[in-house]
């Protein structure tokens, strides 16, 4: 019996946009990963599958119990709730405190029930998952990673048939992500995972891909999915080449038929002038030739329309399957030392003195748990923060990129962002470069605030690679909100970047694909 079923699901927004239509699926595996490019509607589709959003058309059959993880809700950060209140344990802990203080009221004993060891047990559990061991700690004092872990832990403790997890690893460091993987493995219910994290997707038994063409199901985990897509892409390319050949043959045959018809018509006209055959016979032949030509033309048009439709369908599928590429300016970088940090103590995070040297072409993976000071070090190198003590020398321009690509001015157009941040660039060159990353004609005038994360990334990397002096990149989790295709595209671009960078990322696949040459751990 499937855990979850959807029949002929369609959805339409109030403005008339239709993100998807006529989708049917059955969740027969216990671990299913939902993937797709940003903006395709994965979170909306998951909300429909969970029953939170009613689709415009179609039906959902839900399990008897389910729970949903959404990316970090702001209300927890803004509220005055404690960890105990969030977990619903505050009343029991209050009762245990009253009893311990000597209050023998029956009310407290009823609340405590058989949970006499709750305080000790909760303290131990909070420590195990990397949270403050005090249940009275405020949720608003927790980091993004700690808050995500608290929410996930609460969900895994529930006895539900289905967990829907929407980007659960976004704020987790390597240790926390490993804890998440172990928690997923030991959870008895089914899991529907929406994620761009390949490490998590490798834990799945089936992959669902949502695209503009609908929902496609791939058996196996992420690696099987990636291999099946590569195989399908080759098949689509072969099929597309075959259709192109058929189209060319049809055009050549049509041309030959036209030439023969013209030759026969010329011969008939000649015979008519010479009077070698009767006019009635020539008229009959002309009518027969016209009828055959008309029939041939209709057949050719039908075959051309069929091949055209086939070509368009194959091109759409090829576009969904193939990875995009981002080409950066090709400049050579030297191996001179550009950053020297001697016994530096950061204003936050790591309290131990840090000594390091970075060369212009170094590609460094900066590692460490949440709160260790990775972002603080990048902002210190950028000049936004000052060392508590120590010596820092920077002999290179630096360019900072975070997960929101904040260097893009959201009130300026794509074109104006490129022109203003790349001194001396010509308008014609700017248009050519933007066309190369998919922004053509009037699309270059879209405002920065209307761009997706992947589009901002492409624009930011284009700006970076066309600076007058090749900067050292400070990359603070730039992959955090990117879809799988955009992650691969950015990693490939970084691998080909001739300058150096310092990368903070908890995605090991992304880091390796970015071409890192050194690792530094805080």
DSSP string across 326-391 = -----------EEEEEEEEE-SSS--S-EEEEEETT-EEEEE--TTSSHHHHHHHHHTSS--SEEE
Contacts 24+ apart (CB under 8 A), 49-56: 49/4, 49/6, 49/164, 49/192, 50/164, 53/11, 55/9, 55/10, 55/11, 56/10, 56/11, 56/12
pLDDT number for residue 35:
92
pLDDT number for residue 61:
93
Q: Which of 46-55, 144-153, 226-235 has the highest mean pLDDT?
A: 46-55
pLDDT number for residue 365:
93
User: Which pTM was predicted?
Assistant: 0.68
pLDDT number for residue 218:
92
**How confident is the model over 194-212, as pLDDT tens digits?**
998 999 999 999 999 998 8
Which secondary-structure segment (H or E) carries 511? helix 508-513
Q: What's the rounded Cα separation, in Å, for the pair 149 and 155?
A: 10
pLDDT number for residue 67:
93
Q: State mean pLDDT over 450-462.
A: 82
pLDDT number for residue 60:
93
Local confidence band at 265 (pLDDT 50, 70, 90 cut-offs): low
Q: What's the rounded Cα separation, in Å, for the pair 81 and 79?
A: 5
Query: Could you say which DSSP state residue 298 is in?
Result: H
pLDDT number for residue 63:
93
Local confidence band at 235 (pLDDT 50, 70, 90 cut-offs): confident
DSSP H stretches of helix in 208-366: 222-274, 279-321
The H helix count followed by the E strand count for the chain is: 17, 17
Percent of the chain with pLDDT over 90: 20
* Local structure of 471: helix, strand or coil: coil
**How confident is the model over 511-520, as pLDDT tens digits?**
999 899 989 8
Local confidence band at 161 (pLDDT 50, 70, 90 cut-offs): very high
**How confident is the model over 345-377, as pLDDT tens digits?**
888 777 788 888 888 888 999 988 877 888 888
Given a cut of 80, whether residue 159 has pLDDT beyond it is: yes
pLDDT number for residue 250:
75
Percent of the chain with pLDDT over 70: 87
Q: State mean pLDDT over 471-480.
A: 87
pLDDT number for residue 188:
94
Query: Token digits for 252?
Result: 């050549």
**How confident is the model over 289-342, as pLDDT tens digits?**
666 666 766 777 777 777 777 777 767 776 666 665 665 555 555 567 888 888
Q: State mean pLDDT over 385-405.
A: 85
Given a cut of 80, whether residue 484 has pLDDT beyond it is: yes
Local confidence band at 23 (pLDDT 50, 70, 90 cut-offs): very high
**How confident is the model over 241-253, as pLDDT tens digits?**
887 888 788 777 7
Local confidence band at 95 (pLDDT 50, 70, 90 cut-offs): confident
520 contacts 365 by C-beta, under 8 angstroms: yes
434 contacts 403 by C-beta, under 8 angstroms: no
Given a cut of 70, whether residue 445 has pLDDT beyond it is: yes
Instruction: Spell out the SS3 assignment of 13-24.
Output: CCCCCCCEEEEE
Q: What is the dihedral of CA 280, 285, 288, 292, to 10 degrees?
A: -160
% helix, strand, coil for the chain, step of 5: 45, 20, 35
pLDDT number for residue 8:
94
If you average pLDDT over every residue of the chain, what do you get?
82
pLDDT number for residue 334:
58
pLDDT number for residue 6:
93
pLDDT number for residue 72:
56
**How confident is the model over 103-131, as pLDDT tens digits?**
777 777 777 777 777 778 888 888 888 88
Position with higher pLDDT, 412 vs 71: 412
Closest C-alpha among 36, 60, 65, 38 to residue 49? 60
**How confident is the model over 31-85, as pLDDT tens digits?**
999 998 877 888 889 999 999 999 999 999 999 999 999 865 556 666 678 888 8
Closest C-alpha among 67, 68, 70, 64 to residue 4? 64
Which secondary-structure segment (H or E) carries 59? strand 57-61
């Amino acid at each position: 019996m499937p855990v979850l079923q959807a029949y002929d699901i369609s959805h339409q927004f109030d403005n008339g946009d239709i993100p998807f239509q006529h989708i049917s699926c059955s969740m027969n595996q216990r671990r299913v990963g939902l993937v797709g490019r940003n903006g395709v509607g994965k979170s909306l589709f998951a909300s429909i599958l969970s029953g939170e959003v009613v689709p415009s058309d179609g039906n959902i059959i839900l399990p008897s119990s389910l729970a949903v993880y959404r990316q970090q809700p702001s209300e927890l950060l803004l509220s005055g709730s404690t960890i105990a209140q969030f977990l619903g344990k505050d009343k029991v802990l209050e009762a245990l405190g009253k009893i311990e203080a000597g209050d023998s009221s029956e009310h407290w004993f009823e609340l405590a029930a058989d949970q006499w060891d709750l305080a000790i047990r909760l303290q131990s559990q909070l420590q195990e998952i990397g949270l403050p061991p005090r249940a009275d700690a405020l949720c608003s004092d927790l980091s993004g990673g700690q808050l995500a872990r608290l929410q996930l832990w609460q969900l895994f403790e529930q006895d539900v048939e289905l967990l829907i997890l929407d980007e659960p690893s976004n704020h987790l460091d390597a240790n926390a992500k490993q804890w998440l993987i172990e928690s997923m493995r030991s959870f008895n219910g089914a899991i529907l995972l929406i994620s761009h994290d390949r490490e998590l997707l490798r834990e799945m038994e089936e992959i669902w891909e949502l695209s503009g063409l609908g929902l496609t199901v791939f058996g196996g985990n992420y690696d099987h999915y990636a291999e099946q897509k590569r195989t399908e892409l080759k098949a689509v390319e072969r099929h597309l080449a075959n259709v192109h050949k058929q189209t060319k043959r049809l055009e050549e045959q049509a041309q030959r038929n036209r030439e023969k018809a013209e030759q026969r018509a010329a011969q008939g006209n000649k015979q008519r002038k010479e009077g070698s055959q009767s006019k009635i016979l020539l008229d009959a032949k002309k009518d027969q030739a016209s009828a055959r030509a008309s029939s041939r033309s209709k057949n050719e048009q039908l075959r051309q329309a069929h091949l055209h439709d086939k070509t368009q369908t194959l091109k759409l599928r090829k576009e969904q399957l193939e990875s995009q590429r981002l080409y950066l300016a090709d400049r050579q970088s030297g191996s001179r030392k550009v950053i020297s940090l001697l016994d530096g103590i950061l204003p936050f995070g790591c309290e131990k003195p840090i000594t390091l040297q970075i060369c212009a072409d170094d590609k460094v993976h900066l590692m460490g748990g949440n709160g260790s000071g990775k972002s603080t070090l990048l902002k210190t190198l950028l000049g936004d923060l000052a060392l508590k003590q120590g010596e820092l020398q920077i002999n290179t321009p630096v360019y900072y990129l975070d997960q929101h690509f904040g260097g893009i001015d959201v009130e300026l157009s794509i074109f104006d962002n490129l022109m203003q941040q790349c001194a001396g660039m010509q308008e014609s060159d700017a248009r050519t470069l933007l066309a190369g990353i998919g922004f053509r004609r009037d699309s270059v005038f879209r405002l920065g605030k209307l761009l997706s994360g992947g589009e901002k990334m492409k624009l930011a990397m284009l700006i970076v690679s066309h600076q007058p002096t090749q900067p050292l990149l400070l990359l603070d989790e730039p992959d955090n909100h990117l879809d799988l295709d955009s992650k691969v595209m950015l990693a490939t671009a970084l691998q080909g970047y001739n300058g150096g960078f310092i990368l903070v990322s908890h995605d090991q696949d992304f880091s390796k694909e970015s071409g890192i040459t050194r690792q530094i751990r805080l």
